[in-house]
Structure formats: structure tokens, C-alpha cells
Amino acid sequence: MIDTWLLASACLVLLLLGAIFRVVRTKSRNDRFLAALVAVTIGSAAGLTLSISQGTLLVLDIAVVLSLFCFAILIAAAQFTGGARA
């Protein structure tokens, strides 16, 4: 029988690869940041669906920690490269 959550996770991984491809191929800095944010969000969703599919919380914990780390890096990079200063 086909595991629906595993299939959803595989589809999200394909979308994640497309978002990463967009990060690499685009020229605008703003487009790169937006594509990176989309990639992190889709990666978090893929981790969630994989966690549900496997029935373990370890995958979910790893996905949450990695997504928080990536969002913090993106915020710091945006401010460092000339973002709005408060």
C-alpha cells in the first residue's frame, strides 16, 4: 500500500530542489533571499510529513532546529548585506 505521507514528503522534496535551483540561478539578491525562505519553509514541511510517515519525533526535532537555524542565518545575511536598519 502507498504511504500518503511518504508520497507527500517526496513531492515536497521535489519542490525543495526547484527552490534551491532558483536560489542558484537567479541574479537578484532579493530573489535569492525569497527563494531561500521558500526553500527553508518547504524543507520544514517535508520534514514534518516525513516525521508523520516514519512515526518518530526525531525527524521533526531535526527539521525544526535546522529551519530555525536557517531563518536566523537568512535574517543576519539580509541585515549584513544592506537590509533596513532599525
Give tens-digit pLDDT for 17-70: 999 999 999 988 889 999 999 999 999 999 999 999 999 999 999 999 999 999
**Distance, CA of 63 to CA of 24 (rounded, Å):** 22
Residue 6: pLDDT band with limits 50, 70, 90: very high
Residue 62 lies in a domain: yes
Number of domain units in the chain: 1
Question: What is the structure's pLDDT at 36?
Answer: 93
Residue 2 lies in a domain: no
Residue 86 lies in a domain: no
Residue 56 lies in a domain: yes
Parent domain of 19: 12-80
Q: Which amino acid is at 74?
A: L
What nine digits make up the cell of 10? 517526496
Residue 85 lies in a domain: no
Residue 1: pLDDT band with limits 50, 70, 90: low
Residue 28 lies in a domain: yes
Residue 18 lies in a domain: yes
Supply the pTM of this predicted model: 0.84
Residue 70 lies in a domain: yes
